[in-house]
Each structure stands twice: as structure tokens, then as C-alpha cells.
Chains A and B, each alone.
Chain A
Amino acid sequence: MDTIETGFGTKDISVGTWPRDDTSRIPLWVYSDRDNYQRELDRIFYGPHWHFIGIDTEVPNSGDYKRATVGERSVLMLRDENGSVNVVLNSCAHKGTEVCQSKFGNQNPIICPYHQWAYDLQGNLKSVPFRKGVKGLGGFPADFDLADHKLKPLKVANVNGGIWATFDHGAPSFEDYIGPVMLKYMKRVFNGKKLRVLGYERQRLRGNWKMYMENIKDPYHATLLHVFLISFGIYRIDQKGVYEQDERTHAHTVFASVRDTNPDPAAAQEMLSLKSNYELLDPRMVIPVKEFPDDISIMIQTLFPNLVVQQQTNSLQLRYVTPLGPDEFELTWTYLGYQDDDEEMKLRRLRQANLTGICGYISVDDSEVLEFSGAGTRPNRGGQAVVEFGGRDPSAPEGAHQFTESAIRGFYHFYRQVMGYSA
């Protein structure tokens, strides 16, 4: 343990050090230190980790593109003439200019607006103006080779219409990266039926990006903070369910449970926010129908580093976290349905979306406490978080109950390895 005296009778934890060998304590500098943030960009966002880019039906036709973000970098998801979806860096090989400015568009070739370097839909440079100059004047050197210059391609995975990418071509395949257990749960939503994006919501939160992932790995808060989540039996910590991890890393996690409006009496006593008699004048947003082959009514999956795949009764959502420096992040909500949804199902998904997102009856609580967490940790970076609910182990507990913060410990177990902060 490496600490420095502050003169106030407490010892600050210095940047780069951890209070304990295990991850039951999180030093608060991880939420605000700028050098650490740069290291996260290099090692996590631009390293051998997979990031969610979009849904293939967002770019249905050849030449369609969508702007997406990995870390702080803009990338383009492109549909090419062969029907493949490619992901390339949105930065011209000439002078680094962003080549596409619209969120969605269609171009072939992709032409940088600055000096009109033109790229094909795989990102290969096809032509540059005045390549041979004019009447012997100007032009490029004889050894200038178009093949040496391209929109930097990312390694891409397409899993039943979900597009993921990584900057590191040496990264394991996406399937190997998340492992078979996580893939099984992910494929409950990405089940091979054609997906349709039903809408987006985007918000900027003044906290560190990891706080959002911790929050979604945290059944402890879920059962205490959210009146709407627990009072209508959508999720409670005592519900019958499963908690599984990718056991190799402890960093990808799924919580899933079965809807049940009758809380365990002992658990109910601890849940001050539980309002069992809460009634709505228009209750349609909390009325689900069975849609999937199993009985899981809520599935909350977190994939390292920054994606949540959530099925909340009939609401299917991806929540993607983009860092905006150490102190802020964007949370992007992508609401999904299937192309073959009937009108009733579309309406049901629309109604249930009121529970989540930037105005959500559940999610407003999260957005707000994450801002409180940002405000409380930024000026106190010598402190530490105490994450000891359910023990100090990063694994899912025996019996896979959810009375634990071990998924958060699991996240930091892997984070420390990736960041070179191993015990």
C-alpha cells in the first residue's frame, strides 16, 4: 500500500496504487485522474477489446454509412457492394480530417471534403486529385502508392446483425472475447431474427464512464434505489434468477431473473423504497407479455468494457458508454425490436420504454445518482470506495445469488490486469 500524508489525519491513496490486493476497495483516483484516463483510451478503447458499433439494418444498402464512436474516435460503419459491413476510422489518410459529418448517409466513393481523396467502401484509397500534376507541374512523387494510404480499418464482428469492432487486429474473435456463456445470453436478443432500431436516446452525465458499468453490475443499489423497478416486480434482489460471469475474466456478467411481485418478507423489510400498493392510472407500461422461449423476464448483461445488453420484459435495449474525458461520459440508448413485430408488440415496446432512458421511471434515478457520484468523488480522489457487500471475491457466489457486489469486483479484477495495476 502506497499512501501519502494529507495532514488531516487521513492517508490519501496515491495515483496508480490500490488499497488492497483484491478489488474490494476501489481508489477514487480511477474516476478522475487524467493520465489514467489516457491509459484507458490506449489500453481499453484502442486496445484488444471489442466495442459496439451498431445494427446492420441501420445501413441496409450499399454505400450507406453511420457514424459511431469508439473511445474518443469517430468511426464509420459502412455497407459495401458485397453486403459486408465494414468499420473504418473516420479520419482521412491525407491530413486526418473527418471525412463524413452526417450521422447517417450514403456515399460511394467516400470522398473527403477537404482535398477530395476518394475511398472505396472498404476504406481503400482509390484516387487523389492532381496525382500526376498538371503539365508536369506538381503531382505526387513517382513512388506514391495509393495502397499505402487508407481509412484505417477496424476488425469487425457481425453477430446476428449486431456489429462490434476493435482497433486491434490481434484481438481474439468477438465470440472468444466474451466467451460461450455470455454469447448464449447475448443471443437471446441477437437471436437471428432481423433487428430494427426503434429509437435512440443520448445523454451526457457528469461522472466517470466506469461508474455506469458498475451501476449496471450492482444488484445492491437496484433493489434499494428504484421504486419502479422493485414495486412492480420487474427486478428485485430476492427474485429467482441467475447470475453468471465469464469465469476467465470476471469482467462480463449477466444477471437475469423471473418476474415476481411477491417479495421475500425478510428482504422486503430492508427495501425502504418498496411500495407494494403502488398503482398507476395507465398501467400499460408495466404489463409484459411472454416473448422468449425461457421464463427470464429481465436480463441485464454487461460486456467489458462499455456495453449493456438489456431485455426488460419486452423492452430490448443497448446502453453504450462513451467516455468524454475522465469526468463525463455519454450514455447512448439504442432501442430494438424485430422486423416482424406486429403493431401490438411495437406499441408495447414503445410504452415500456418509458421506464428507461433519459426520462425513464427507473433510469432517472441512475442518471442522478451517477452525477452525485461524480460530484462526490472528483474532489476526493485520495479516497476509496468500499465494495465488500457479499465478500471480497470477484466471482459469482455459490448458488449464484445476487446479494453481492462481486460483479463490480470482477470488473476491476480484469481492469487492473488490462491497465497494468495487477496486485
Chain B
Amino acid sequence: MAAVIDDADVKQKVDDLYARYAQSLCDGDLDAWPEFFVDDCLYKLTSRANYERNLAIGPIFSETKGALIDRTRALKTALVYAQRYVCYIVGSIRIVGRAPDKGWDTRSMFSAYQTFVDGDSKLMMCGRTFDRIVLDGNTAKFSRRVVVYDNERVPSAVVYPL
């Protein structure tokens, strides 16, 4: 594994990105979600079972920020689903290397809980992320985000992206 980047400024920006991202998921702020990504981005949600067998298809595969906006619009206007809260906890954020062209590769661990109307708060997913972060002006954004969940089975549908 590549040496840890010890540039304090970069580390601070990366930590801040993850904190703001988690906060916006917990707030349920759908409009904010695509803004954490650069235009030319990759977002992928997949299971550990697929990831470790190099199987390409997982629940979400988006190749542009436009596709992320499409998803938030669909969630607001088209899909039928029960109201829920999502609580997204992220930790162990670490810069693991410099990306070949620009930016930094990172890893993090997460757990996400969901709460339904008249229901208990329960674990929805836990897993790891394998992301690439670039500076857009002075702001850190994702150019790639690959969310790999450990769950063999996911409870109900996964409505909000993580």
C-alpha cells in the first residue's frame, strides 16, 4: 500500500468532505448530494460479494453527475417509497495514495441505519468505500465513489444513495 499522504491541508479537506457528505445524508438533503461530485464522475454501489468476484453489476452505477441528479429527481418526483430517515456514520478515513493523474485515493468505513415511521432504528448497511477525491477550486469533491457493502441481504429497498 502506498505511503500515507501527510499533507495536513489535504487531509483536513478530505476529512471535511466526508463529514459534510455524512451530514447531508443524515439531513436527507437530496439536492446537495450530486454537488459533492465533479461533473465527470463515477458512482457505484455494490455488494462485497460482487466486488470480490469482480462482478460488474451492483445496485447503482452512474457515470456522470447528471445521472446523480437524475436519481435525486426521480426520488423526489417518480418513485414510490415509505418515508424513512437514514443515519450515516463514517470513520477510519484515510488517504491511501495519490491518484495517477490527479487527486487522492481514499478509504473509509461506514455504517448506515434507517428508521421507518412507527419503527425502530435498525442497521441498513455497513461496509467500506474506495473513493477518489480531487480539488475543484479549493473544494474537495469526489471524482469516483465506490461504496461496497458487506450485507449479503439488504433489508427492503435501498432508496437513498450512500
A interface residues, Cβ below 8 angstroms from B? 103-104, 197-206, 225, 227-228, 231, 273, 275, 278, 280-282, 284-285, 330, 335, 346, 349-351, 353-354, 357-361, 363-365, 367-369, 371-372
Contact = CB atoms under 8 A, between A and B. Distances in A.
A371 B70 CA distance: 25
A383 B80 CA distance: 25
B62 A282 contact: yes
A60 to B, nearest CB: 13
Given A203-B156, A359-B59, A281 B70 contact: yes
Nearest to A196: B55
Contact of B59 (A201, A228, A346): A201
A358 B67 CA distance: 17
Contacts of B159: 359, 364, 368
B13 to A, nearest CB: 28
Nearest to A369: B80
Interface string B43-69: 001110110010111111111101101
B123 interface: no
A284 B70 CA distance: 12
Contact of A203 (B56, B60, B80, B155): B155
A359 B43 CA distance: 13
A361 B61 CA distance: 12
Contacts, number: 115
B3 interface: no
Nearest to A103: B49
Interface residues of B, number: 37
Contact of B153 (A202, A281, A354): A202
A4 B93 CA distance: 61
B157 interface: yes
Given A200-B47, A200-B55, A359-B45, A371 B80 contact: no
Nearest to A332: B153
B74 interface: yes
Nearest to B154: A203
Nearest to B81: A368
B8 interface: no
B56 A346 contact: yes
Interface string B121-162: 000000000000000000000000000000111111111010
A203 B45 CA distance: 14
| Chain A contact residues: helix, strand, loop or mixed | mixed
B154 A199 contact: no
Contacts of B56: 198-199, 346, 350
Contacts of B49: 103, 200
Contacts of A354: 60-62
Given A282-B62, A369-B80, A198 B57 contact: yes
7 contacts: A200-B50, A227-B74, A228-B78, A365-B79, A365-B80, A365-B81, A371-B156
B1 interface: no
Nearest to B54: A199
B82 interface: yes
Contacts of A204: 153-156
The 10 closest A-B pairs by CB, nearest first: A199-B57, A281-B66, A367-B157, A282-B67, A227-B78, A359-B59, A199-B55, A282-B66, A335-B57, A198-B57
B69 A358 contact: no
Nearest to B79: A364
B156 A201 contact: no
Given A198-B55, A201-B47, A372-B82, A350 B61 contact: yes
Given A200-B55, A282-B66, A282-B70, A227 B79 contact: yes
A363 B79 CA distance: 9
B55 A367 contact: no
Contacts of A104: 53
Given A282-B64, A282-B70, A367 B156 contact: yes
Given A203-B156, A350-B57, A363-B157, 15 more contacts: A198-B56, A201-B47, A203-B154, A203-B155, A204-B155, A227-B77, A280-B67, A282-B67, A282-B70, A350-B61, A353-B57, A354-B60, A354-B61, A359-B159, A368-B159
